[in-house]
Chain A
Amino acid sequence: GENVEQHPSTLSVQEGDSAVIKCTYSDSASNYFPWYKQELGKRPQLIIDIRSNVGEKKDQRIAVTLNKTAKHFSLHITETQPEDSAVYFCAASKDDKIIFGKGTRLHILP
């Protein structure tokens, strides 16, 4: 089955700097790659997703890139703000189910 690896497990960046989280997946047939943000004590919520026919997608300060050949995808957050502090999960899907990575805890330092 699909396996999703996510790195790093913890990331600390200065406010205003950029943050990058990387994921790899094992099943080359996967074609949908969402990213979820989970604030402390709350439920995960979708922040951006990308499908395999697209190499990059942006939404304001957030962007995701996909390299199908290498089977990896990344989340980029620019101009980080305190409210970006959370756990971020990448995921991959080819059929009905979505398999998540183990998460990255992002700390924004003042």
Chain B
Amino acid sequence: DAGITQSPRYKITETGRQVTLMCHQTWSHSYMFWYRQDLGHGLRLIYYSAAADITDKGEVPDGYVVSRSKTENFPLTLESATRSQTSVYFCASSEVKNEQFFGPGTRLTVL
């Protein structure tokens, strides 16, 4: 599990600020994903990427931006944070149709 890391692990920010959550994997997996986890909603897919420079929207992409210039990194940016974006964010990686390996999560609070 040390093969996928997230930073920071905890973040408190204010409404309107830009926040970037980092995700790094060492397995050279093709696919990377961002989820948010909220009580009562389970895991909801924000964005995913099939390879470097290829990204696509998930279920709840509004208010988020992603990029993937390198296979191993997949940062998630909240351009103007809102209170509704307070959540636990999980990054994951996999090869297609195989086990997804999740990072440890980032707990984000927007005041």
Residues of A within 8 A of B (CB): 1, 6, 31-32, 34, 43-46, 49, 51, 89, 93, 96-103
Q: Chain A: interface secondary structure?
A: strand
CA distance A58 to B38 in the complex (A): 30
Cross-interface CB contact of B45 among A89, A98, A102, cutoff 8 Å: A98
Q: List 26 A-B contacts (CB under 8 A).
A: A1-B59, A6-B42, A31-B97, A32-B97, A34-B100, A43-B90, A43-B104, A43-B105, A45-B102, A46-B99, A46-B100, A49-B99, A51-B97, A89-B42, A96-B31, A96-B48, A96-B50, A96-B96, A97-B48, A98-B45, A99-B59, A100-B42, A100-B43, A100-B45, A101-B42, A103-B43
Interface size class of B (residues with CB under 8 A): 20 to 34
What's the nearest-Cβ distance from chain B to residue A66, in Å? Answer: 15
CA distance A1 to B45 in the complex (A): 12
What's the nearest-Cβ distance from chain A to residue B9, in Å? Answer: 12
What's the nearest-Cβ distance from chain A to residue B89, in Å? Answer: 11
B42, B44, B59, B96: residue with the most chain A Cβ atoms closer than 10 Å: B42
CA distance A45 to B94 in the complex (A): 12
A43-B104, A96-B50 given; A102·B58 CB < 8 A: no
What's the nearest-Cβ distance from chain A to residue B54, in Å? Answer: 10
Residue B56 at the chain A interface, CB threshold 8 Å: yes
A44, A89, A101: residue with the most chain B Cβ atoms closer than 10 Å: A44
What's the nearest-Cβ distance from chain A to residue B105, in Å? Answer: 6
Residues of chain A lying within 8 A (CB to CB) of residue B104: 43
B45 touching A99, Cβ below 8 Å: yes
Closest partner residue, chain A, to B35 (CB atom): A100
> Beta-carbon contacts of B44-84 to A below 8 Å, as 1s and 0s?
11001010000010110000000000000000000000000
State which residues 89-111 of B face A: CB under 8 Å: 90, 96-97, 99-100, 102-105
Closest partner residue, chain A, to B44 (CB atom): A100
Residues of chain A lying within 8 A (CB to CB) of residue B1: 43
Closest partner residue, chain A, to B91 (CB atom): A43
CA distance A101 to B37 in the complex (A): 12
